[in-house]
Structure 1
């Protein structure tokens, strides 16, 4: 696996276009990877996950992939400095059962509901478009509960902090929108991002390695699912 770190130029008109349309950002990210001829989506075939993090001077774009990307197709002046690409194989070797890490994840936490309940929720939030069969989780507790459930599926647990609560903090991030084309019909995209910062402990190294490679949750084409690890903080 490879991880690219891109320092974007926030004055670039191409980046401003991407920032305003999440589907355009997806297309820019995927321009670094070869086209796939079969029916498998290119993002899935190349294992591409990405996340846009705010920084002191703008934004950092992190892109993880199974194959090494070629960023030469980026528009001129899209970056303020050369891209950094590193092999993640040494980091994967550190994934062992019982290991503790600090982590960051931007996700799209939702819960599946019956269609009738989804319609009721849509009416309750007038003017807000609910995804069919999925409802966005908006309270901090429901967002934490969602990640705890993801941990049960993907081989990790969230430890308890000194205050007796899960050692994790969810922060509302960007609501991003865009438009894609499905056949001849335009399709509106809305993704509610939540950023998680905290600690985790690996309980099943095989499941967790798969989660690192493939991402967690929905919206993986649109800036969600990428887990970043770092040494635990005191």
Structure 2
């Protein structure tokens, strides 16, 4: 696995286009993976996850992937310096049961509201999915994260105040245009989670680290970043 850090030039016309349309940002990220097989979806083939973090006077894009990326196809003025790419194997090797990490995750906490009558699709004859809506209350967002931890091999420990040692904070709403054959827009209301976690199942957590957590993985959600724990 590889992690790329891309320091973005906020004056780049292409970046401003991407920042206004999350699907265009997805396309730009995937331009670093142009030698992928055609028999499966490109993002899944390379296990690509990404996140855009605000930093002092700009943004840094973090892109994680199974394949080593080639960023030479980015527009000439897209970055302010050369991409930084590092091997994540040492991080994967450090995942053991009971290990504590500081983490950052931009997640897409949602819940599904059943459609009235749960009608069948006229094309497939199958029941249609309900409408996915954002969880906007902090307690609902924490509940979502704790449940994901149960699924993916980690728990959120308690902090000094006895509450879960994690802080959820809202991010800017992400929007974009759907593919030409579809109608409407893409809208996500992501949440940034920062705090500590403890690994309970090394295999399940390693899989989550590589494949991401939750929905919206093509649009900047689901990537977990780990660091040594902070003062306890």
In the superposition, the TM-score normalised over structure 2's length comes to 0.92
Q: CA deviation at 1:41?
A: 1.1
C-alpha deviations, 1:80-100, integer Å up to 9, x for none?
011000000011100000000
1:188 aligns with 2:182: no
Q: CA deviation at 1:188?
A: 1.2
**Runs of at least 5 residues in structure 1 that lack an aligned partner in the other structure:** 119-130
1:137 aligns with 2:135: yes
Q: Which residue of 2 aligns with 1:96?
A: 96
C-alpha deviations, 1:108-166, integer Å up to 9, x for none?
10112311399xxxxxxxxxxxx953121000000000000000000000000111100
CA gap of 1:105–1:69, structure 2 versus 1, over 3 A, is: same
Q: Which structure shows the bigger proportion of residues in helix conformation?
A: 1
Preserved contact between residue 35 and residue 42 of structure 1 (Cα < 8 Å):
no
In the superposition, the TM-score normalised over structure 1's length comes to 0.91
Equivalent runs, 1:195-206 vs 2, <5 Å: 195-206=192-203
1:228 aligns with 2:225: yes
Classify the secondary structure of the residue corresponding to 1:116.
coil
Preserved contact between residue 2 and residue 67 of structure 2 (Cα < 8 Å):
yes
CA distance in 1, matches of 2:133, 2:39: 29
When the two chains are superposed, the root-mean-square deviation of aligned CA atoms in Å is 1.6
Classify the secondary structure of the residue corresponding to 2:213.
coil
1:217 aligns with 2:187: no
CA distance in 2, matches of 1:220, 1:40: 16
* More divergent stretch after superposition (166-175 vs 186-195): 186-195
Preserved contact between residue 37 and residue 45 of structure 2 (Cα < 8 Å):
no
C-alpha deviations, 1:63-107, integer Å up to 9, x for none?
000000000000011000110000000111000000000000001
Q: Which residue of 1 aligns with 2:125?
A: none
**Runs of at least 5 residues in structure 2 that lack an aligned partner in the other structure:** 119-128
How many aligned positions are there?
221
Q: Which one of the candidate residues 172, 175, 178 is aligned to 2:176?
A: 178
CA distance in 2, matches of 1:175, 1:219: 12
Q: Which residue of 1 aligns with 2:156?
A: 158
C-alpha deviations, 1:163-209, integer Å up to 9, x for none?
110000000001010012153x3441011110000000000000000
Preserved contact between residue 105 and residue 223 of structure 2 (Cα < 8 Å):
yes
Q: Which residue of 2 aligns with 1:86?
A: 86
